[in-house]
Structure 1
């Protein structure tokens, strides 16, 4: 008997078996929770192959990370996952569930941007497309190295491509952040030393000869 046929034992007639119901195995869906900038964000009915960049931009509305090349070459989509700088376009979003994700939106707020964001916003740029990725790279660099040399800064930024403005303004901005943080740390340390010093008691003079 042909495998696709079934026989009715009552009538002895054969008929074509109905095809199996369609499946969505080619594009399986999943749901998960991403912790982004300290907030749990639910992602429902998402294709399991969606990149972290796509989910951040299209599902969660966080458009700071840019889609420059989709190959992990330009640095425009840089984010931190568990404190590690990654190209979001290469990370399957579902694999980042349970991780701490930080995007450029999480560095500061509109009312109070971070010092890195403020410094980079003053750069003379043409389009600014690459700046969010550079901000994440600079933030990541300064987290691990509080006093990087210009060479170290250049090495950190070598994965962030800028096609129109160049890097001089970015390097100057990084230097500004380093100097401001050093000055602020020195001020805090000086204030702490002053607070730790015992209060001075005014010295009293001894009795004069006329008082004897």
Structure 2
């Protein structure tokens, strides 16, 4: 009787130590909920990190292209506007320009020119800005700005004119344009989130042009 009683007690204790089906279901449910929270947190952090990287890269490109554009415009002595149009009281282009420069060396080579050409978005492909520099018959072209969804160059007369007379006739923009302003809107998409950056430059004056 004593041996049988001990065996029954041991078996009862083993039975009480096991998990019931309800306990297993609760444990699994809590584990799934915890994993879902961890995954959601990781996804939010990953999106934030990539978004920060996108903004940093767009800002880097923006600063770089503004520095290059400012130097190109300030040293130019002429401009040829591609596809000019009128927007309000301003003359603009969303196509591009070609800047010309004096031949300081006077060595008989072709005059140096720099062309900025905007290629608009095509379906899922974003727009981009190309800078082409030509000297001595050789052209070096490279993309200086990516992920553009809107691009615009605006033209002004020389400083000193009233704001109302900041622009001249459309058909003679190449002769009266003395300063240029750039506007660009950049956008990079991450899953369902758009990261947007804007470039609005000050007016850069072509210092080698004559002021009429």
TM-score greater than 0.5 by the shorter chain:
no
TM-score range, shorter chain: under 0.3
Structure with more contact order per residue of length (Cα contacts < 8 Å, sep ≥ 6): 2
Higher strand residue share: 2
TM-score of the superposed pair, with normalisation by structure 1: 0.22
